[in-house]
Amino acid sequence: MRIKGIEAFEVTMGLEEPYTIAYDTFDSASNVFLRLDTGSGPVGFGCAAPDLEVTGETPSTVLAALNDIARPLLVGSDPLRISMLLERLREPLVAHPSARAAVDMALHDILGKTANLPLWKLLGGFRSRILTTVTVGILPLPETVRRARDWVGKGFKCLKLKGGIDHRLDAERLIAVRQAVGSKIEIRFDANQGYSVEQAVEFVDLSRAASLSIFEQPTSCSYPERLGSVTNAVSVPVMADESLMDLRDAFRLARRNLVDMVNVKLMKVGGIADALQVNSVARAAGLEVMIGCMDESAFSIAAGLHFALARPNVEFADLDGHIGLIGDPAPDTVTIKDGYLYPTDQPGIGGDPKF
């Protein structure tokens, strides 16, 4: 079996509800889908969700990377030699992590289809479902409370609030949501690098009554020592997101004890194979792990889910980037029920996108 052809194309999906985070407002999502054709063998699919602020990519740079760099290095190769192919692409695609993630997904999709197994079982098969958060963007306080109640009413048991612009107002919003949803709903908070150390510490103090479970990326990723200062000063577990882009970052965060937890996103680290390596570093260091996402098709959400289900120490999930996408080519590759995310029972990643 050999890779006969590669096709990459952009798909822009609208959002049912635009949302705001600390540094931007979003009303649509552009993903780049990849198709690897093996002739008489299975077809593998992948998906990149580039984000200029996070991955340093745009859809056009991803398309160029896949067509101009990946294509000549992949065509004619055995798709089951995943480690060899990904290592061949590592340096040429070092500045294109989500493009690399798309290739990684497509190769793993072919592997699962060849083995006739869902990927989560092939990779380890530790659990069959995982609880996921659902995100509430930066909104006025009354609207924040309304959205939180809506999500809980739909069965979600874990909320993630976005903030990072005004730490005092963020604390007010957090406490108001806690009062609205009760004590049994888990609440996490993501500042998206928006705070100083002092603001982060004051935020935790002001929001103590909200019983926050995770405090994600309070300070700028450009100054890792600030993240460590917050971790040492607060009682709430602190998680790195933008500060973790690759395996080296995971090692540095672990070696210097800068955080309690890490958010692993396939689009940042370059796919499932690298996520498994980052996860091993985290486990060795005693860091808790969450699988996260960008605004992504359910197809790449499924890829992240398979990784999470395969490994016992990936205990947390923030896989809601597909919710509310209009025109997703692969909406049925994951299922949400009572706040839990389930894969399909189909081989590979769980069903081919329809274009």
pLDDT interval class at 73 (50, 70, 90): very high
pLDDT at 67 over 80: yes
Residues 6+ apart with CB under 8 A from 323: 134, 336
Q: What is the pLDDT of residue 21?
A: 82
Q: What element of type H or E holds 5?
A: strand 5-21
Percent of the chain topping pLDDT 90:
96
pLDDT interval class at 18 (50, 70, 90): confident
Q: What is the pLDDT of residue 17?
A: 83
Q: What mean pLDDT do residues 189-199 have? A: 97
Percent of the chain topping pLDDT 70:
100
**Selection from 329, 327, 318, 319 nearest residue 351 by Cα:** 329
Cα torsion angle, 303, 304, 305, 307, sign? positive
Q: What is the pLDDT of residue 28?
A: 87
* 132 secondary structure, DSSP code: B
Residue intervals in the chain for CATH 3.20.20.120: 121-343
Q: Tell me the whole-structure pTM to 2 decimals.
A: 0.95
pLDDT interval class at 263 (50, 70, 90): very high
pLDDT at 344 over 80: yes
pLDDT at 258 over 90: yes
Cα torsion angle, 223, 228, 229, 233, sign? positive
Residue intervals in the chain for CATH 3.30.390.10: 5-116
Instruction: Classify domain 5-116 by CATH number.
Output: 3.30.390.10
Q: Look at strands 334-337 and 340-343 and give their pairing.
A: antiparallel
Three-state DSSP class for 36? Answer: strand
**Selection from 28, 114, 47 nearest residue 79 by Cα:** 114
pLDDT digits (tens, 9 = 90+) for 83-124: 999 999 999 999 999 999 999 999 999 999 999 999 999 999
Show the tokens assigned to 240. Answer: 């790195």
pLDDT interval class at 82 (50, 70, 90): very high
Q: What is the DSSP string of 265-320?
A: -HHHHTSHHHHHHHHHHHHHHT-EEEE---S--HHHHHHHHHHHHH-TTEEEE---
**Selection from 307, 263, 256, 309 nearest residue 285 by Cα:** 256
The DSSP bridge partners found for residue 31 are 11
- State which CATH number among 3.40.630.30, 3.20.20.120, 2.60.40.10, 3.40.640.10 fits the domain covering 121-343: 3.20.20.120
Q: What mean pLDDT do residues 315-341 have? A: 97
Q: What is the pLDDT of residue 148?
A: 98
pLDDT at 333 over 80: yes
pLDDT digits (tens, 9 = 90+) for 129-185: 999 999 999 999 999 999 999 999 999 999 999 999 999 999 999 999 999 999 999
pLDDT at 23 over 80: no
